């Protein structure tokens, strides 16, 4: 049969920068990067969207941004800085997505302009998605402000919003133009948000880097006590591991595998069941605990290594389980996470478990009886800790 065929390769490249006081006029990093991105003579526009929590914690931020672009005036700053609620509220309510599209239209943000998101992972997801679908792709820049977004979600290529009550039902793979991690934003985080992001470091260490896991064990007390040098190392190491993974073969998840989502099948569902009162990192920690114990009960992970993982989670101050995480029978609500996890990628169910610390293994089914036993053991752990 006669047919036509075409194939092409599109290279993607972006950098993750680490800095301090990005909007101090003496810090030329952002301005220099924007100069490097510009490949024409026309004056480009730049539009900022800021997480409401960040705006409240940094009351001088807007003036700093305006002063910065007064000094570094080779790009046209849109005077309006849009403030949107952070957290899953940003992704759950379609009005914020529509509001972003209205601003793109109102301010004439074109494909050679820039949308900059400053905030946690939810704001980055929302703005990245709006940028990706507006004019089939506006350049977007991420300035993550939480541990979780600086070490995990903010350095990846995913964008999206929640729909039909399902996490990231709508979304795109659209790499940012660049990511700027500013350590100063971490200083104003609540203890809860500070800790939450550490869960993703535990996750990536468990499936990618046993030496990093040992470092986490050794520095747990410093991390909990908000030692900034320790957190800076954690963020940098996690970002490096994530970037290495993205370049490793399936950055846009065309298959059925989600190797960086260890512990996430239940975590995503737990967030939704709790109406997002449980933070993503807190849910991930419980998901890690569940899949760690399950890995041990299925004779993949040794008892000693399983105990080390559970102990680290406790030392970091994470809860190991929650009533909504309990698996009492085949109708337990948390189990819907398995079906939704499969649906999100299509194809067969693929879950990451552990063969040992630093080495993940993919499986394609989960035994309900063993899951119920794992859930029961975590409830016993919790009762022991509470007593």
Q: What is the pLDDT of residues 307-338, one digit of tens each?
A: 999 999 999 999 999 999 999 988 899 998 88
- Closest of 204, 354, 199 to residue 284, by C-alpha: 199
Domain span at residue 41 reads 15-188
Q: Are residues 381 and 335 in the same domain?
A: yes
121 and 202, same domain (yes or no): no
Same domain, yes or no: 95 and 123: yes
In a domain, 95, yes or no: yes
Residue 10 lies in a domain: no
Indicate the number of domains in the chain: 2
Alpha carbons 104 and 138: distance in angstroms, whole number: 10
Backbone φ and ψ of 283, nearest 5°:
-65, -40
How confident is the model over 101-151, as pLDDT tens digits? 999 999 999 998 999 999 998 999 999 999 999 999 999 999 999 999 999
Q: What are phi and psi of 106, to 5 degrees?
A: -60, -40
Share of the chain above pLDDT 90, in %: 68
CB 223 within 8 A of CB 230: yes
**Do 172 and 232 belong to one domain?**
no
In angstroms, what CA-CA distances link 48 with 26, 119, 143, 254, 282?
20, 11, 10, 32, 29
CB-CB neighbours of 40 under 10 Å = 7
Task: Mark which of 162, 188, 214 sits at the end of a domain.
Answer: 188
Residues 155 and 58 in one domain: yes
In this structure, the answer to whether residues 299 and 376 fall within a common structural domain is: yes
Task: Say if residue 32 is in the same domain as residue 113.
Answer: yes
Last residue within a domain, chosen from 163, 188, 213:
188
Q: Tell whether 211 and 359 lie within a shared domain.
A: yes
pLDDT tens digits along 275-300: 989 999 999 999 999 999 999 999 99
pLDDT in tens, 236-251: 999 999 888 776 665 6
The radius of gyration computed from the CA coordinates of the chain, to the nearest angstrom, equals: 21
CATH classification at residue 208: 1.20.1090.10
The residue out of 188, 222, 252 marking a domain boundary is 188
Q: What is the CATH number for 145?
A: 3.40.50.1970
pLDDT of residue 7: 85
Residue whose structure tokens are 């595998």: 257
Per the domain annotation, does 180 fall within a domain? yes
How far apart are alpha carbons 380 and 387 in whole angstroms?
Answer: 11
Tokens of 273: 């069941």
């Amino acid at each position: 049969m006669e047919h036509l065929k075409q194939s092409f390769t599109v290279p993607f490249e972006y950098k993750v920068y680490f800095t301090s006081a990005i909007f101090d006029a003496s810090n030329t990093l952002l301005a220099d990067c924007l100069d490097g991105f510009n490949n024409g003579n026309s004056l480009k526009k730049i539009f900022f969207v800021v997480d409401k929590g960040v705006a409240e914690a940094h009351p001088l931020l807007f003036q700093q941004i305006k002063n910065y672009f007064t000094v570094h005036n080779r790009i046209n700053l849109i005077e309006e800085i849009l403030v949107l609620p952070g957290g899953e509220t940003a992704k759950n309510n379609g009005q914020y997505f529509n509001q972003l599209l209205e601003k793109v239209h109102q301010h004439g943000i074109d494909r050679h302009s820039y949308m900059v998101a400053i905030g946690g992972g939810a704001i980055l997801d929302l703005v990245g998605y709006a940028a990706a679908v507006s004019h089939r792709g506006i350049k977007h820049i991420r300035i993550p402000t939480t541990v979780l977004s600086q070490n995990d979600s903010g350095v990846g290529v995913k964008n999206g919003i929640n729909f039909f009550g399902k996490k990231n039902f709508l979304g795109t793979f659209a790499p940012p133009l660049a990511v700027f991690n500013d350590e100063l934003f971490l200083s104003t985080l609540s203890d809860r948000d500070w800790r939450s992001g550490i869960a993703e470091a535990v996750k990536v260490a468990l499936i990618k880097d046993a030496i990093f896991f040992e470092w986490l064990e050794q520095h747990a007390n410093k991390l909990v006590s908000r030692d900034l040098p320790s957190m800076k190392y954690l963020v940098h190491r996690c970002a490096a591991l994530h970037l290495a993974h993205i370049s490793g073969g399936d950055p846009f998840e065309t298959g059925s595998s989600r190797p960086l989502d260890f512990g996430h099948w239940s975590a995503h569902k737990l967030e939704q069941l709790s109406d997002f009162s449980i933070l993503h990192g807190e849910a991930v920690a419980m998901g890690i605990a569940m899949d760690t114990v399950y890995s041990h009960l299925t004779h993949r992970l040794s008892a000693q290594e399983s105990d080390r993982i559970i102990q680290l989670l406790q030392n970091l101050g994470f809860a190991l389980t929650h009533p909504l995480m309990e698996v009492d029978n085949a109708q337990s609500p948390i189990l819907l996470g398995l079906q939704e996890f499969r649906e999100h990628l299509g194809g067969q169910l693929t879950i990451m478990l552990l063969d040992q610390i630093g080495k993940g293994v993919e499986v394609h089914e989960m035994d309900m009886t063993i899951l119920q036993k794992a859930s029961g053991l975590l409830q016993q752990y919790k009762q022991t800790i509470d007593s």
